[in-house]
């Protein structure tokens, strides 16, 4: 199968098989994959959680509780941290990829809807829909051993 990407001037080839869906939580709204990672993060809005899918087995290997009404996810370029926007809680959950646990919850603007990690790994940027702002989050320092 060949799929074209509108406005991108590119095409991608895929195997001619229908992929099997992977069961996750209710209302999955966003996914993110880090570079050189075996895991995919899927945000489940109605369950206030993130499903971690192992790419090779295509199975959910972890579920991570996050804030109310999560809307988006991004991973840092080194794949050590994932950021999840919690739209109804006006927060971002920071997930440590090694432990698959939320290590901090950071207040941001009203109704955070999108997040992106900077390629240099120094900051994450959060688009706050209800107050027309962008929050800049410095990447947390690694935990002590």
Contacts of 72 (CB under 8 A, 6+ apart): 29, 30, 43, 84, 85, 112, 113, 114, 115
Across 27-35, average pLDDT: 86
- Give tens-digit pLDDT for 86-140: 999 999 999 999 999 999 999 999 999 999 999 988 999 999 999 999 999 987 6
Confidence category of residue 35, pLDDT binned at 50, 70, 90: low
Asked whether residue 37 carries a pLDDT value surpassing 60, the answer given is yes
CA distance linking residue 113 with residue 129, whole number of Å: 6
Both tokens assigned to 111: 């109704």
pTM of this prediction? 0.84
Q: How far is CA 93 from the centre of its chain?
A: 10
User: What structural domains does the chain harbor?
Assistant: 23-138 (2.130.10.10)
Q: Which pLDDT score, from 0 to 100, does residue 38 have?
A: 86
CB atoms within 10 A of CB 129: 15
């Amino acid at each position: 199968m060949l799929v074209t990407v509108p406005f991108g001037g590119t095409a991608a080839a895929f195997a001619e098989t229908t992929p099997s869906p992977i069961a996750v939580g209710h209302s999955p709204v966003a996914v993110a994959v880090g570079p050189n990672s075996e895991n995919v993060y899927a945000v489940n809005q109605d369950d206030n959680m993130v499903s971690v899918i192992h790419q090779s087995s295509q199975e959910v290997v972890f579920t991570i509780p996050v804030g109310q009404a999560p809307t988006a996810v991004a991973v840092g370029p080194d794949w050590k941290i994932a950021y999840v926007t919690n739209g109804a809680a006006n927060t971002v959950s920071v997930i440590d990829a090694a432990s698959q646990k939320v290590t901090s919850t950071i207040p941001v603007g009203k109704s955070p809807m999108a997040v992106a990690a900077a390629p240099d790994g120094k900051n994450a940027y959060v688009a706050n829909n209800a107050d027309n702002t962008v929050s800049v989050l410095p990447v947390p320092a690694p935990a002590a051993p």
